[in-house]
Amino acid sequence: MKKKKQKQFTSHWYYYLVLIFGLTVFIPLKMQAQSTTTTSGIVIDATGDPLIGVSVTVKGKTIGTITDVNGKFTINIPSEQSERSVLVVSYIGYKSQEIEIGKQRLIKIELAEESIALDELVVIGYGSVKKKDLTGSLSSVNGDAITERKTTQISQALQGAMSGVSVTRTSGSPDASTNIKIRGITTIGDSSPLIIVDGISVDNIDDINPNDVENITVLKDAASASIYGSRAAAGVILITTKRAKTDQFNVEYNFETGIEKPTKLPDYVNAQRYMQMSNELGWNDAGNGTNKYPTYPNDIVDNYFNLNREDPNSYPITDWTKLIMKSYAPRQSHMLRITAGSQKIKTSASIVYDNIEGLYDQKSFQRFTSRVNNDLTINKYISARVDVNFKRTTSNSPTTDPMYFSRMASPIYAGVWSDGRLANGKDGANAYGIVKYGGTSTNWYTQFAGQIGLDVKPFDGLKLTANFSPSYNFTKIKTFQKAVPWYTAEDESVLGGYLSGATTTNLYEERNDNYRTTLQFLANYTKSIKDHSFDILAGFEEYYAFNENLTASREQYLLTSFPYLNQGPATYRDNAGSAWENAYQSFFGRIMYNYKKRYLFQANIRYDGSSRFYTDYRWGAFPSASLGWVLSEESFMKDVTPISFLKLRASYGSLGNERIGNYPYQATIQFSQALFYQGNNVVSQQTAAQQKYAIQNISWETTETFDVGLDANFLNNRLRFTGDYYKKNTKDMLLAIQIPMFVGFENPDQNTGKMWTEGWEFDLGWHDKVGQLNYSITANLSDARSKMGYLGGTEFLGDQIKKQGSEFNEWYGYNALGIYQTKEQLDNSAKTSNSVKVGDIWYKDISGPDGVPDGKISPEYDRVLLGGSLPRFQGGGTINFEYKGIDFGLVFQGVGKQLARLTPNMVKPLVDNWGNIPAIIDGNYWSYYNTEEQNLSAKYPRLSLANQSNNYVMSDFWLFDGSYFRIKNISLGYSLPKQILQKIQVQNLRIFGSISDCFSVNKFPKGWDPENGSSSYPITSSFIAGISVKF
Amino acid sequence: MKYFNYILTACCLFLVISCVDLDISPLSEGSTENWNSTEEEVVMSLNDLYKSDFWITASDYWTDDLMYRAQLTEINGGTMTSESTQSNSIWQLSYKAISRANFLIATIGRANLSKEVEAKYIAEAHFMRACMYSRLIFYFGDVVYYENPISLEETDGMGRTDKNIILQKIYDDFDYAILHLPKSYASSELNRATKGAAYAFKARVALHMSDWNTVKNAAWDCMQLGVYKLHNNFGNLFLVTTRNADESIFIVPRSLVYNLSINGNDIVNVISRNAGGYGVEDPTWELFCSFLCTDGLPIDESPLFNPREPFKNRDPRCSYTIVQFGSEHLGFIYDPNPNALKVLNTTTNLMVTNNDTRTNNQYASWNALIWKKGVDKTWLDNGKKTDPDKIYIRYADVLLMYAEAKIELNEIDQSVLDAMNDVRARAYSVNKSNISSYPAITTQNQSELRKILHIERRMEFAREGLRYYDLIRWRLAEKTLNLPVYGLLDPTPMKLLANQGLWFFPETPTVDEDGIADFSGLLNKGYVKKLIDRKFDKERQYLFPIPAKEVMISQGIITQNPNY
């Protein structure tokens, strides 16, 4: 206990330290005056246009400036040094120049554009490297490409952006996150990548505001990622945030406003058709006797529209989607960034506010983020970084998610009475009323995090770094569920009752409090001796995470206006709480070597310990090595002119994974409650039981990755190609495989199981300039396929399976032979039960207990692998044009192959026994009212609920081609000419418009977006306009 | 030297801050290594077996006692497969409880309790384990049997054990429990399992396996304890107001305060539409017609039965079970008559729109019947949540089990008649000896008594989850679960029928020797509507399917039940 207290104290101490440093962000800088000589000049580009904001510094001195809106600069140099001084002129995207001043007092400098980015630094684990010196496989995307997508969350913007990075989503909700996978699936467990922001691991990629991103780099192969060892098996995403550069002084403001609109919404049959089809369903289930109108009398069905006109309260027609959903939702955001960089202090500070409304009442999302990054140069030896970031989001939603209801509810119930008052829907089931009057659930998330880092350079080449980063996260959830009364249609004073799910007013509160601390010590030594270059890194890192949560509630509030616990009755109160923690320690090292920039070698090792394993099985070592050969540096390649750069890469390494709960090796006793009589009073007693079987000697699972790649640039670096082939081999996989149910425990985690993933990917890009037209086209495509090896068992997921020889989450079910058309077919075939009738789905009898067809369709013996469920051939690309200040961008993305399933919610009539009927099945199902020809071509089985377990069970009947191609984003912008802007002291002014997710090609049934979950918030198209000003 | 200091400082920082400890144990959970080493821990482990999750009953919705409009379950619809969640959850829950009981029995020695106390706790664990295995062999027949904690390795090759062998083990467990459990608990003690409960559950498993001698003896021993007696009023035995009744032998208590209640659909599906419910989970006409008349005769034989006033002159349990037309129910007069467009709200004394007639509301009970048993106004309180006892086994069951065993053994004597008449007289709220005020049973003919007993059980235990067990063990399921579900005609024709004076039943249906009413005559005359055909496959459905996962994981060593 004592130790724990101390730990908390130290963490808090750093908390304050970070706070104090954070507050000292703008320290004015003074320079001493002395006798100086003034030199001035102008910097222009190849076309003669002035370049604004170009950094002009004196080499080896702390004197510098930047060019003004006319491209002009003035610099004062101590007189005695001026003639010997050298000016360094640098500008992003242009080649740097060094100019000896001599006696010149007015200098004209023309900067040439840097045509390729081979010299650019690429972020890698615990460091950076020149792109041409890379030996591993990685992809990166810069911050502009992220913000250009105009998504609220970063993760959504990564869709189709890089090869080998798969981003899937099922909802378009503004606070919805996505599922990111790098190079397919590596493990059965958690296959989500490790996210590193400015060197520190974070829980959620979406904690970063897209506007703050400088660069996102994805480490894909083992050699790149293995410096992160244990947690990197599923790949690593490195994010760097924007920092100020020397002599950069800007104020930047960005405003965007627009709307979100559902891409598609499914259709349902109208009220009359609903009743006709319900009758047919009832008639089918009652054995097709004489009564063909078992549910709705014929006269009512036939006259329903007239009856509705006469008496809409007794014969309602409700379009629930229209009633609940708005046709669009507005959104807007403001971003302010101040950048100030002197020689000693460089600060970048941003504040971003986003507000996104929802497509129904009570739904909204607000986010406020702020990030201040400081770089301090203390003296020749010491420099420091002090970063602080803050995030606060408020997500509101109704107390009941109406999406499922708005799709399934049938049209013949009233959402509102004819006079507009709230109606009772289906016997009190009315999600519209709950959304509108049933209170709100609000989730406030507050994050306060930072980093303090110290770099010491005791002598040339050696850099020692210490970083400490705490992150404090607080979640507060308050769900105030209000009772919603409804009054009868006839009399607004007669209480009819309360909507179901809203019969009493209840308050549920939740608090989650967690913190993470990361501590790093790094030593980096670089040295070049003639043609040999070394870069050596050694490091230590430790990480600690603590989580505690608390829930409390009271029910049956008398008043609906006081959402606080002490306003509720004490009788119906409840509370709960729990906590968990975990920790890592790691030692790691890396050596990079190259000879003549031609032969490259890199080796990494990481030695990791995790609290998730028992002492004896806790530590694991994860080595890797990679090689690169820059062929274009060889003399025999020098003359091959079309090729400007050519490099072959190969790497091999192992990575670990252990994300399986917090105490997997310990059999634990979990607590609960049971009720007893004591005399005639009911009392609650604590109970205890081991629920999970535990295996003590579990340890790391390892993934070995082999990768070969090729980087090639052609035609003066205008055409660029990067391609990779890889194979991943995961063993000792931590699996909670199905153990016999009769053991009586939940499935334990065990080191069993192997799987292989094989894939390839490439990126292709063309950049060129024709006169004043700059344009570029990029494209990427990748594929990954996972096969399960011996698993020591099987994992069942209902309609998907993982077992030896299957793909990861392969569809698993019956082989359908179509729909039974005749009694003969029915009588002469195996069935799931004797209740199957003509018009139901017919399955193939594959096997039985004796290994041969047994005349029965049984789950044990007749289900087979039906094909992979994961997306294949995923790709994306961009097209950009820029001409005289007009810029145009287009982003596309797609999935080339995917077996998708028509889920029961999409095709089943009368879901939950009273639900709606999807319009897509009307006219396309097997029916006694059809002709034989019509039935032969029926796409759906007969209408039946009694036999739904036969018809809607997983089989290949419901699988279809789910591939799609989608235009992710189109943007058009215009930057005002600099000549005009100069007069108003503005550096840059751009107005723009952007459309996202506007168009897709796919084979999904009408009304379904290929990415939309069957009852989740719609995928939306965004239409955005905005303005961006930079002073 | 300057940089040396920096390195030194950095190293010191390293040492000071590095305090992460990788030996982390759960913060809010206990450890199994040393669990059960104190009496408190042993009791907590035992308590776990009393959780309501483990005490599930069969659903009346699977049977011919309850209908849900034109919908069926996978059991009375005949579509059950080995992927059924129903069979999976019974299998899984039972084994969870068994493994926890085994763990307790194996580790209780850690607590160093006195022999006497230890024996009592072990007896509770044996009791629980026996109840769980009883349930398993009833549903699945032969099942996997083990009585010690098992490791994963030991499960390899484990198959099914003959249910008769398991039955003997169950008897042994119950006998141990009977020996060591107390007869009752003081009012300051927690009511845990008792000797009587062990006798009663032993009788029940023996009944399910038709081991009549064991039923007879266990039930008789339970009766001789003198602890239990029939509650004086059948109607209020099931209400919230009657707590921990003397008739209840094993109860899972409910409590609103502790968040264990009947709520949601379990309330609204049952209560009437006027009271804010759906009236959709309803007693069937077959159940309604099975209640005898006050002369002890079935409705088609008794001159007292009037199909126009079908609740008149019936066994009192009829209107304790089903809401009588025209009676006050949940604040309204319940009247499903097609012409009763307005009814009295007895709270406000105003006539209001009657949503319990299908003329006004198409979804009002499709056969005009709704449940009364256990339902009272507390069902409308607390946002429609209520907390009556969940009675798992009660004394009337023990009496009728005893009678059934003696009848089947053909050892019919006065004790059989006494047991049955006790139950029947209580329904009439009279003394058994007062034979003029109720139709006392007097026959000693085995087949007549058997028939009476079957009907008596149906009248007594409706909506208590026992009908399914009876249908299975009497092999009656293949008959009654292949009959259609009947209901009222649609509102318009129903109104025409009523206007001819044919409400409620246009004519009396016949009732066969099993007490099952036959509506096909009424159907042929167009008086009633067939809602849906039930389906029960006698070739397979007398046993549940073994969960498919179990068969697949064991590579077929655990065999599937026939015809699944």
Q: What is the pLDDT of residues A136-183, one digit of tens each?
A: 888 888 888 888 888 888 888 888 888 888 888 888 888 887 888 888
Which is more confident, A113 or A952?
A952
Which residues, in sequence order, are bridge partners of residue A574?
A: A553
Best mutation target among A302, A675, A841, A910 (most B Cβ atoms within 10 Å) is: A675
Average pLDDT value for residue range B250-261: 92
Kindly tell me if the per-residue pLDDT of B289 is higher than 90: yes
Kindly tell me if the per-residue pLDDT of B4 is higher than 60: no
Q: What pLDDT score was predicted for residue A706?
A: 93
> How far apart are the CA of B57 and the nearest CA of chain A, in angstroms?
18
Q: What pLDDT score was predicted for residue B242?
A: 94
> How far apart are the CA of A192 and the nearest CA of chain B, in angstroms?
24
Give the tens place of pLDDT for each residue, B392-411.
Answer: 999 999 999 999 999 999 99
Q: What pLDDT score was predicted for residue A30?
A: 37
Kindly tell me if the per-residue pLDDT of A114 is higher than 80: no
Angle between helices B85-107 and B115-140 (to 10 degrees): 160
- pLDDT band for A40, please (50, 70, 90 cuts): confident
Q: What pLDDT score was predicted for residue A329?
A: 94
| 3-class DSSP state of A844 | coil
> How far apart are the CA of B224 and the nearest CA of chain A, in angstroms?
23
Interface confidence, given as ipTM, is 0.93
Spatial neighbors of A84 by CB under 8 A, at least 6 apart, are none
- Of chain A residues 258-297, which have a CB less than 8 A from chain B? 282, 285-287, 289, 291, 293-297
Q: Alpha-carbon distance B138 to B87, whole Å? A: 12
Average pLDDT value for residue range B365-387: 94
What's phi and psi for B8, nearest 5 deg? -60, -45
Cβ of A833 within 8 Å of Cβ of B81? The answer is yes
Q: What pLDDT score was predicted for residue A674?
A: 95
Cβ of A859 within 8 Å of Cβ of B83? The answer is yes
- Of chain A residues 850-869, which have a CB less than 8 A from chain B? 856, 858-860
Q: Which residues of B touch A519 (CB under 8 A)?
A: 17-18
Q: Alpha-carbon distance B69 to B486, whole Å? A: 9
Kindly tell me if the per-residue pLDDT of A18 is higher than 70: no
Q: What pLDDT score was predicted for residue A684?
A: 94
Average pLDDT value for residue range A105-130: 75
Upstream peptide bond of B504 is cis (omega within 30 degrees of 0) = yes
Give the tens place of pLDDT for each residue, A209-237.
Answer: 898 999 999 988 888 887 887 778 888 99
Kindly tell me if the per-residue pLDDT of A916 is higher than 60: yes
Spatial neighbors of A759 by CB under 8 A, at least 6 apart, are A164, A183, A184, A725, A726, A782, A783, A784, A785
Kindly tell me if the per-residue pLDDT of B467 is higher than 50: yes
- pLDDT band for A94, please (50, 70, 90 cuts): confident
> How far apart are the CA of B454 and the nearest CA of chain A, in angstroms?
29
Please state which of the ranges A35-44, B292-301, B517-526 shows the lowest mean pLDDT: A35-44
Average pLDDT value for residue range A759-780: 92
Q: What pLDDT score was predicted for residue B16?
A: 52
- pLDDT band for A25, please (50, 70, 90 cuts): very low
> How far apart are the CA of A861 and the nearest CA of chain B, in angstroms?
8
Q: What pLDDT score was predicted for residue A279?
A: 93
Q: Alpha-carbon distance B381 to A556, whole Å? A: 10
Q: Which residues of B touch A694 (CB under 8 A)?
A: 32
Phi/psi zone of residue B14: left (φ > 0), alpha (ψ -120 to 50 degrees), beta?
alpha
Alpha carbon distance, N-terminus to C-terminus of chain B: 84
> pLDDT over 70 for what percent of chain B?
97
Q: Which residues of B touch A574 (CB under 8 A)?
A: 259
Burial class of residue B400, CB neighbours in 10 A (0-12, 13-18, 19+): buried
**Which of A382, A427, A466 lies closest to B278 in CB terms?**
A427
Average pLDDT value for residue range A454-458: 93
Comparing alpha-carbon positions, the chain A residue that sits nearest to B538 is: A834
Q: Which of A638-647, A652-661, A732-741, B45-54 has the highest mean pLDDT?
A: B45-54
Average pLDDT value for residue range A374-401: 94
Cβ of B32 within 8 Å of Cβ of A668? The answer is yes
Q: What pLDDT score was predicted for residue A384?
A: 95
- pLDDT band for B163, please (50, 70, 90 cuts): very high
Q: What pLDDT score was predicted for residue B490?
A: 87
Average pLDDT value for residue range B472-495: 94
Q: What is the DSSP string of A443-458?
A: EEEEEEEEEEEEEE-S
- Of chain A residues 163-222, which have a CB less than 8 A from chain B? none
Comparing alpha-carbon positions, the chain B residue that sits nearest to A670 is: B29
Maximum Cα–Cα distance across chain A = 112
Kindly tell me if the per-residue pLDDT of A16 is higher than 50: no
Average pLDDT value for residue range A306-321: 94
Cβ of B14 within 8 Å of Cβ of A466? The answer is yes
**Which of B74, B82, B382 lies closest to A859 in CB terms?**
B82
Kindly tell me if the per-residue pLDDT of B110 is higher than 80: yes
Measured in whole angstroms, the distance separating CA B546 from the mean position of its chain's CA atoms is 21
**Which of B27, B529, B532 lies closest to A946 in CB terms?**
B532
Q: Alpha-carbon distance A655 to A220, whole Å? A: 11
> pLDDT over 70 for what percent of chain A?
95
Give the tens place of pLDDT for each residue, B175-188.
Answer: 999 999 999 999 99
Contacts of B466-470 with C-beta under 8 Å, sequence gap 24+, read: B466/B57, B466/B58, B466/B397, B467/B58, B467/B60, B467/B63, B467/B64, B467/B65, B468/B58, B468/B59, B468/B60, B468/B62, B468/B63, B468/B75, B469/B58, B469/B138, B469/B208
Measured CA to CA in angstroms, residue A995 lies from A210, A263, A363, A779, A879 at distances of 17, 12, 22, 20, 15
Hunting for tokens 């089903």 — which residue is that? B322
The DSSP symbol for A343 reads S
Nearest CA to A882 among A890, A873, A874? A890
Cβ of A742 within 8 Å of Cβ of B143? The answer is yes
Q: Alpha-carbon distance B26 to B44, whole Å? A: 19
- Of chain A residues 603-622, which have a CB less than 8 A from chain B? 609-611, 615, 618
Which is more confident, A571 or A902?
A902
Q: What pLDDT score was predicted for residue A119?
A: 66
Kindly tell me if the per-residue pLDDT of B28 is higher than 70: yes
**Which of B22, B91, B353 lies closest to A610 in CB terms?**
B22
> How far apart are the CA of B516 and the nearest CA of chain A, in angstroms?
20
Cβ of A427 within 8 Å of Cβ of B257? The answer is no
Average pLDDT value for residue range A744-749: 85
- pLDDT band for B60, please (50, 70, 90 cuts): very high
Q: What pLDDT score was predicted for residue A747?
A: 83
Q: Alpha-carbon distance A137 to A647, whole Å? A: 12
Q: What pLDDT score was predicted for residue B239?
A: 96
- Of chain A residues 967-1006, which have a CB less than 8 A from chain B? none
Which is more confident, A533 or A4?
A533
| 3-class DSSP state of B66 | strand
SS (HEC) of A917-940: CEHHHCCCECCCCCCHHHHHCCCE
A488 touches chain B (CB under 8 A): yes
Q: Which residues of A touch B187 (CB under 8 A)?
A: 678-680
- CB–CB contacts below 8 A, A to B: 325
Q: What pLDDT score was predicted for residue A187?
A: 78
Average pLDDT value for residue range A883-906: 92
Q: Report chain A's mean pLDDT, rounded to a whole number.
A: 87
Q: What pLDDT score was predicted for residue A118?
A: 55
Kindly tell me if the per-residue pLDDT of A802 is higher than 70: yes
Instruction: Say if strands A36-44 and A106-110 run parallel, antiparallel, or are unpaired.
Output: parallel
Average pLDDT value for residue range A276-298: 88
Kindly tell me if the per-residue pLDDT of A29 is higher than 70: no
- Of chain A residues 791-810, which have a CB less than 8 A from chain B? 793-794, 796
> How far apart are the CA of B346 and the nearest CA of chain A, in angstroms?
15
A946 touches chain B (CB under 8 A): yes
> pLDDT over 90 for what percent of chain A?
54
Say whether pTM exceeds 0.90: no
Average pLDDT value for residue range A419-440: 93
Q: Which residues of B touch A792 (CB under 8 A)?
A: none
Kindly tell me if the per-residue pLDDT of A34 is higher than 60: no
